A and B are shown apart, each in its own frame.
Chain A
Amino acid sequence: MGNSSAFWLGLAVAVAVLAALPVLFGLYAAEVGSVFLAYALLGMSLAFIWGYCGILSFGQVAFFGVAGYAFGIVAINAATLTGLTLAVLAALGVSTAFAAALGYFMFYGGVRDVYVTILTLVVALVLYTFMGQTAGGEWAIGDARLGGFNGMSGVPDLAIGVGSTGVEIGPLGHYYVTLGALVATYLGLRALVNSRFGYAMVATREDEDRTAMFGYDTTFVKLVVFTIGGAIAGLGGVLFTTQNNYVDPSVFGITAAALPVVWASVGGRTSLLGTVGAALAIQFVDYRLALSGSEWALVLIGSLLVFVVLVMPEGVAPRLHEYVLEYREDADPSPVPRDSSAATEEVSD
């Protein structure tokens, strides 16, 4: 991944702009923006496992939604500072453990490729069906009623603390917490992808059998990557649920499940930032269309997906990156950088 000063400058500017949004557009923009940023985390979780390890999961929303529900259940039953902090930890723990269990089950069972993709989608759809039929009063855990298709409402805001010392995080704070989580996750994933483990991931994506032959435990690599992906999606789910104070089965639905795939495909699955950008842009357009009463958002999103995969299969961000590189080479015709970039391309492709 890029390490030039131009890249870091660009990233700093992007974060500064995002941080300035509530100041420029007010509190309501911050509330809407938090949801988009939580979606961006979900998108990043898919770009990480698909783009860097070749695991195409159609069910990242399963971890997103499970974390949301888990937070809601714990938080409604224990709406104190300590309780809410525990709720965050519980939600992350549940989504991570769920991903680890599913990943262990699939990868150590020899399930591969298309079968992984479909199995993850089926898991999300099953959760959708299951949560949808929990409308009855018997589907309550403590004070938290699952509520069927009506969803679970009255989920408290995010709060961190122990006993009576701590902070309750309001809408504006929530925006900055989400932004911080997004940036921190991005930097963490960056470091991971650039590490030795990252090379093993990419090698597993390129040719699993050959990588295994070199002595890497590719099954374990996939399990770790999938689990991390589940944890990130879960983090997104917690931030999403605490912003809306509400979660319903539609987070597991087929349309919701499609969105991360759209963001990663359009933005570029091998570009974490591209996926984040696509998630923010697409959800913003979707939001504006919904506000104006238009029903065409999904048609637009679906067509965009088809168009991008047909015309630029690697996604928008990697394509732009290529143009920038070409432009630079034209401007500065010294042979050395050209050689080195060609060499790295060969390795990473």
Chain B
Amino acid sequence: MLELLNFGFEFVEIFAFIVLATVGLAVIFGMMGIINLAHGEFILVGAYATTFTFDAGLPLPLAMLAGVVLTAVYGLVLERLIIRHLYGRLLDSMVVTWGISLVMIQLTRIVFGNTAPGIGIPYGQLPVVDGPIYYLVLAVVAVGVLGGLYALFTWTDFGIRARATMQDETTARSMGVDTDRMYMTTFAVGSGLAGLAGALYAPVMTVTPEYGTGFLIETFVAVVVGGASVLVGTVLASGLLGTVNAAVTNVAGTFMGQVAMLIAAIVAIRLMPEGITGMLADWRESRGESQ
């Protein structure tokens, strides 16, 4: 029984981590096909904003909100200044975001030094399982973010325009959708979500200039395994990778858990080169044809 609880807790912890770290990247990838190599540094902005506003005396939730808003604004500025010149040039935009990432890591080091003030993990420890309550809070937030995105993409006018742009940019534009603005807004939303990940994990992981790179492997792997469809892809990829990681971690330790997760990811990409959602789309199409 305890074994099962431990596994459950481990899964919840890893699932929440992958969802929160990935979802911002997935929103931008799904919309524009760009993998934002500076994603880790957007997370870094969120973490630093949270840490320093908290250090200045703001209550933690407000400090986290500040992290999200600042990162969204930061993403918006970058999009207007640089990224928008690169639409339609996928590989170039990835290369440029990598350049941005290099600059940001080093600038952070120069301006703030190698350490930042720490934040203690709030809410204390769980009773039965060995772990902080805060991880459960993170899981709730992760599910909340997914639910919020679902609502945003299905029920709002913005969501319908966004999905139209994703499916067929030219047609969407000819139907009167301002696709340029859609891209701008999506980039800001994606950045804000990256900021949220940074803010939420600021108490858990030590905040340094390399903080963002601690998220990179999981996020890239999850986005590639998930494929182009943002919500379904993120959920399925996080579920798959989280299960493998948690199961192996429970038996053989954290490092082997990570290794197993990466092997699972590599096998998944080999079997489904367009990601899980790419395969689902193919499958749906072929079923439609046979009927």
Contacts and interface: CB of A to CB of B under 8 A. Distances in A.
Interface of A: 56, 58, 105, 109-115, 117-119, 121-122, 125-126, 129-130, 133, 254-255, 258, 261-262, 265, 295-299, 301-306, 309-310, 313
Contacts of A112: 273
Nearest to A105: B270
B264 interface: no
B90 A295 contact: no
Given A117-B35, A129-B258, A298 B103 contact: yes
Contacts of A121: 220
Contacts of A56: 91, 94
A302 B99 contact: yes
Contacts of B105: 255, 298
Contact of B217 (A113, A129, A255, A305): A129
A301 B271 CA distance: 38
Contacts of B260: none
Contact of A122 (B92, B99, B221): B221
A126 B217 contact: yes
5 contacts: A114-B94, A115-B273, A118-B223, A306-B99, A310-B86
B85 A310 contact: yes
Contacts, number: 113
Nearest to A109: B270
B109 interface: yes
B103 A302 contact: yes
A115 B100 contact: no
A9 B247 CA distance: 63
Given A109-B269, A109-B273, A296-B110, A302 B102 contact: yes
Given A56-B91, A125-B217, A298 B98 contact: no
Q: Is the interface of B mostly helix, strand, loop or mixed?
A: helix
Contacts of A306: 82, 96, 99-100, 103
Interface in B184-218: 213, 216-217
Given A109-B269, A117-B91, A122 B100 contact: no
Contacts of B101: 254, 258, 302
Contact of A295 (B95, B106, B217): B106
Contacts of A111: 269-270, 273
B287 interface: no
B255 interface: yes
A278 to B, nearest CB: 14
Given A118-B223, A255-B102, A306-B99, 19 more contacts: A58-B98, A110-B273, A111-B269, A114-B90, A115-B269, A122-B224, A126-B262, A255-B105, A258-B101, A258-B102, A261-B95, A299-B107, A299-B110, A302-B102, A302-B106, A304-B99, A305-B95, A306-B82, A309-B96
A302 B100 contact: yes
Nearest to B216: A125
A94 to B, nearest CB: 19
Contacts of A129: 217, 258
A48 B221 CA distance: 26
A310 B90 contact: no
A305 B100 CA distance: 9
A126 B104 CA distance: 22
Contacts of A265: 95
B118 interface: no
Nearest to A115: B224
Nearest to B212: A254
B90 A309 contact: no
B89 interface: yes
Interface in B13-58: 33, 35
A73 B173 CA distance: 58
Contacts of B262: 122, 126
